Chains A and B, each alone.
Chain A
């Protein structure tokens, strides 16, 4: 019913534009003049008989339809001087422009009219885009620049822990973030136990994080969308860049396949901690491994003006091993083939075929427990996305179908091993969605972005599916044949955002959106672990549902030199997952009998102040929030704080471009400690001491506070060969931030108990050398 209603609305809006007279379309692609990279989110504004503005889409494409007449076209993009042109719109016009980066020009003062007010104007809320240039100067652990650590410095995004790339958005869990790399889902985005992310910043072109108000083309996770796009590669000339850091070295090559028509990019990164291990005289140490590597590759080719094909892939692997004890490796693979097709100046389509997997292997080499355990999550994904640019509307609609296969665990052991071979049943699921949304500029003041996504999920055979009683005993088991639908869920996800501009500098926005999730991680560890287990919605596990409302005030000051925003949000969560006491999650066929289902709520206030330009720029973010969960079986059925509930979160980032060559930057974070369960009493059991717990997560870890600094020295400008040095200090104050707490016998008073805190990182200096030619 609701769909019909929506469709009727859409048709109504369209009828107005379709029958309008003497209108022509200005369309084209905006690129960087030096590299040929398409520019995402560049503003194209035309003024004349009427005024209109739009942003380039993810492929640098834009289209504007206006009445016949003479117009001034201004194209602007942060960090690039504007290009202004005059056009006679008497027919449909193609305008493919290349902008020259301010960095490539000798003397440029970025002037005021380059500065766009997009944060104020767009109906989109809760969107943060990471400036890849700023990313390079923000100090990070061991100098390894990282997009996931940078987004943690934004309000509403909480770190998964010290130095960790896991993150929580507006009270969501770590597995409720949709992380996509060139459209492909990256299941496990962490390297080396979460200290580094799978995203090699060298290969990344654009990062957008949606904390709320997700547009309808995104779905499948509750809390956020992190849309990461790889570099297309320079289509003008061959370029190389790379770097040597304390943790990893990087090398990237890019260049034209056919000049101005196609390009490629290959980027490689590998760590070398294990080279130090290898140099140890000790045989156990030098036989140990500890490394990760990743490869990003992409190629594109413009077949003709209407068709461009892109192929991109990611391959990453972590290896950890202690000689004669264990080996563990894990990694993601993604492959995306995409075709951009321009049906007409106004209708842009993107067809994607995607393959991605996440797998891990654990091998125990102990002579009595010798076995190899493997696990795999594999998706085939098809996406068809259309964008239709009309006079005042940008209509987006499409389809998405994903087939999931999960091999929870296969244990392979020999006769002598005390662990038995085992193959846990594969699970198959099909997730499909249809969506439609409209970005509607009603007038100078009012913008809507609204749509709906119909999400369907089906758990498929073959398989044996059990139902359980409250004690976890099997009550019935159904054998389902291959290809049969066993359990299906349909969810309608409305998405709605509106902005009202008081003037160019002030606006208010509101949004509501519903998201659902059918792929869940089962883990009782704090941060992402390589052996995280993925499960699909089933007869026992219902789709997780989140409803979020948000309201915000946005303001630009001094020609957009300063950006200010305040957002409040409230989020309701349904069908959240927790675990029974003594739950055994790994290699357990009846793992669904160990789960508890409950609800959650999260609300907060986010303040953001950003200085965008000038010698000194950066931002201050503050979040005041609460995140709670409620399960009948836990905490007497009362709401309790989720572990990531941190009342206050402050981050300050400052970047100071002192001279052309020297840039200094620093970041400071403060956050309330995690909510944890402390003992309220103790007793003797089995001759040992055990702790008595009352309220769940009523305690607090000590607060986190850290100051990181870095300095970058660029080589002399103007040369073909460029190199730079980056010096950094992580945790300059040397504060011992809490990682974990254990309870021990009080060293001062042996009859009593003391809490002992473990910290991970003290003050850690780093140095990185980067080059480019």
Chain B
């Protein structure tokens, strides 16, 4: 909503070329540990990834953290040991999570121990995906959308990933049902390609779209929501950027999420 207004004002007032690359003055922080753990409700190699931050000015290669000990336990008394697989820094265990069960993560890496827990929410069925035509100032624009029915009797949190021709859209898509509880939802996912080319953000005929949907718990919603609030506006606009609140202890960055998983693919007509 607010963004539409901003676009609108830019449209009106930005007469000449108004974007340029500048250099900023910032420190390069020391490497911090980043843990990204997911347990979903499919029988797959579940992955816990451990990596490190790099300085702002460095080339985007993120160091992996090998040799960690990673264990997941659940509140039913099961324990799963995650082993580092062929990809360094990625710890795997073939298992299947169950909705309603709380999973706890314990990671020991480089002498530090990190813990987190997450309760897998119930599955909300992703009914279908589709393409919606919007008109922005006379220009037709196709947008991917997810259709689902939000259950009325519980608080739900959703996270989506959008892939267009197998390229992951660089936006954090996250929803809760605070204002939409119990309704048939049509959630639009505006594509943002990893390039700077703003014309390539349109969907074209024959594009393959794939949408992953995860039902997440409230901490993970806050995590993704904080990222989504910051990602598309830089400093000086909107929220002052800060590290999203992690559910992992000991000041690790990242999150540990027990979530459901569904995926649907389609081709744009």
| Interface residues, chain A, with chain B CB atoms under 8 Å away | 163, 192-193, 195, 273, 282-285, 288, 290, 320, 322-326, 328, 362, 364, 366, 368-369, 411, 417-420, 422, 524-526, 529, 531, 579, 581-584, 587-588, 634, 643, 674, 676-694, 696-702, 736, 738-747, 749, 751-764
Contacts and interface: CB of A to CB of B under 8 A. Distances in A.
Interface of B: 1-2, 4-5, 8-10, 12-29, 31-32, 34, 36, 51-62, 134-138, 161, 168, 170, 172, 178-186, 194-196, 221-227, 229-245, 253-255
B244 A582 contact: yes
A742 B59 contact: no
B19 A756 contact: yes
Nearest to A760: B13
Contact of B26 (A420, A587, A680): A680
Contact of A755 (B22, B181, B238, B253): B22
A459 to B, nearest CB: 25
Contacts of B56: 678-682, 691, 753
A683 B235 contact: no
Could you tell me the dominant secondary structure of chain B's interface residues? Answer: loop
Given A582-B245, A685-B253, A688-B172, 12 more contacts: A284-B137, A324-B135, A531-B2, A581-B226, A679-B26, A680-B56, A689-B170, A692-B253, A696-B242, A699-B25, A759-B18, A760-B14
B29 A284 contact: no
A44 B68 CA distance: 84
Contact of A693 (B54, B182, B241, B245): B241
A740 B232 CA distance: 11
26 contacts: A282-B138, A322-B4, A324-B135, A326-B4, A368-B185, A420-B180, A422-B179, A529-B2, A582-B222, A584-B178, A678-B25, A681-B54, A683-B32, A685-B254, A688-B168, A690-B227, A692-B29, A692-B32, A693-B242, A699-B24, A701-B235, A701-B236, A739-B18, A740-B234, A752-B59, A756-B234
Nearest to B132: A368
Contacts of A753: 56-57, 60
A643 B18 contact: no
Contact of B240 (A163, A288, A643): A643
B14 A702 contact: no
Contacts of B232: 742
B15 A762 contact: yes
Contact of A686 (B15, B20, B172, B235): B172
A94 B84 CA distance: 96
B234 A742 contact: yes
A702 B32 CA distance: 28
B186 A368 contact: yes
A649 to B, nearest CB: 17
A674 B237 CA distance: 11
A293 B128 CA distance: 46
A682 B53 contact: yes
The listed residue with most A CB atoms (<10 A of its CB), out of B60, B225, B232, B240, is B240
A299 to B, nearest CB: 37
Nearest to A740: B237
A740 to B, nearest CB: 4
B29 A741 contact: no
B179 A581 contact: no
Contact of B184 (A320, A418, A584, A689): A418
Contact of B135 (A284, A685, A742, A756): A284
A326 B20 CA distance: 30
B63 to A, nearest CB: 10
Contacts of A524: 238-240
A691 B135 contact: no
A418 B183 contact: yes
Nearest to A194: B9
A282 B194 CA distance: 31
A282 B36 CA distance: 48
A132 B225 CA distance: 48
Nearest to B192: A688
Contacts of B62: 683-684
B239 A755 contact: no
B237 A525 contact: yes
Contacts of B15: 761-762, 764
A762 to B, nearest CB: 4
Question: Which of B182, B195, B232, B243 has the most A CB atoms < 10 Å from its CB?
Answer: B243
A284, A581, A742: most-surrounded residue (chain B CB, <10 A)? A581
B27 A745 contact: no
A411 B55 CA distance: 45
Contact of B235 (A325, A369, A676, A760): A676
Given A682-B53, A757-B22, A526 B238 contact: yes
Contact of B242 (A193, A320, A634, A739): A634
Contact of B226 (A582, A686, A702, A738): A582
Contacts of A744: 196
A532 to B, nearest CB: 11
